[in-house]
Amino acid sequence: MEKGTDEEGVMATNFFWSYTDEPHASRRRQILAKYPEIKQLFGPDPWAFLKITAVVLVQLWTAAFLRDAGWGKILTVAYFFGSFLNHNLFLAIHELSHNLAFSTPSYNRLLGIFANLPIGVPMSVTFQKYHLEHHRYQGVDGIDMDIPSRAEAHLATGPLSKSVWVLFQLFFYALRPLFLKPKPPGWWELLNLLVQLSLDAALVAFAGWRSLAYLVLATFVGGGLHPAAGHFISEHYVFSPRQETYSYYGPLNLLTWRVGYHNEHHDFPRIPGSRLHRVKEIAPEFYQPLHSYRSWSHVIFMYITLRHVGPFSRMKRPPAPPKQL
């Protein structure tokens, strides 16, 4: 493994580079060989539809309730309440990208479009396209769009610039693939767009612009300097050079579809979040030795304040050479 610098306390000038396969496929084989009963955890979460519907309805009701509220109240409710709901829905969309609500993929996509409504901007269908590549090609240069671009890495080099990067990380996360690896939209993206615009227009018509602003603000603040947004950094940013995926075992897992069990998720992406904790309970010897977190807020703090940590702190792999015919 190579890195742009090996001097502790100095900002890296290159990514970590690995010339071995990502660790999850081999660990999955080892765990299943020892604990084949884990396969019983595979399959959709039968409660996913009801959980998503409840959060969507509560968030839309909250937006309508705030139609005449002042901007201070809207921002306060957005940060301390709505942000958690929209983050929950963003991670519900993550679950649905793995087809973990229904066995039929199209039903998961339709539910994803529904879960997208309070987020304010269409993203569920496009997210699935890029996220599945993140699993299949973890860290592969030019394919895994979860990794920051070199431009981002060169811009965020100190505490202030890293704070700005964290504040706007949702924009980087959403726009990066469109610039680095654009994919032609299909009819599912068009459906996602039309349904979202229809909801936004209806909300403005019946409740006013402040209600729509509340939803967009809840999405924005929930994806920036916010405890729940710590998972964006905690999952794969390299704080320990011998590890590229990290789990979080704190209380916010209850609000975020247990996405914190991230090593477990990458090892077994066919297990829904509601059952991921069982993987660690069944095979503790595979996960207890790994570095993990108890606080996403602390992860954000470390990311901003540690001089040697930044957007370059990600593991990359070179693309596989083309096969000879």
- Give pLDDT, residue 252: 97
**50-54: Cβ within 8 A, 24+ apart:** 51/92, 52/89, 52/92, 52/101, 52/111, 52/114, 52/115, 53/114
Output the six-digit token pair for 277: 């904790």
**What are the per-10-residue average pLDDT scores of the chain (325 residues)?**
49 84 95 98 98 98 97 98 98 98 98 98 95 95 94 92 95 90 94 98 98 98 95 93 92 97 98 98 97 97 94 92 51
Q: How far apart are CA 127 and CA 56, in angstroms?
A: 19
Q: How far apart are CA 163 and CA 215, in angstroms?
A: 23
- Give pLDDT, residue 240: 77
| Residues 96 and 107: beta-carbon distance below 8 Å | no
Q: Given the structure tokens 């005449």, which residue do they identify?
A: 68
- Give pLDDT, residue 6: 41
- Give pLDDT, residue 286: 98
- What is the secondary structure of 25-53 as a DSSP string? HHHHHHHHHH-GGGGGG-S--TTHHHHHH
Query: Alpha helix (H) ranges present in 254-321?
Result: 262-267, 273-282, 284-287, 296-305
DSSP 292: E
> C-alpha distances in angstroms, 115 versus 69, 191, 243, 278, 282?
25, 14, 33, 26, 32
Output the six-digit token pair for 132: 């599945």
Output the six-digit token pair for 106: 């199209």
Output the six-digit token pair for 110: 């339709």
- Give pLDDT, residue 321: 63
SS3 of the chain: helix, strand, coil, percent, to 5: 60, 5, 35
- For the whole model, what pTM was predicted? 0.93
Half-sphere exposure (Cβ direction) of 33: Cα atoms closer than 13 Å: 7
- Give pLDDT, residue 178: 87
- Give pLDDT, residue 4: 47
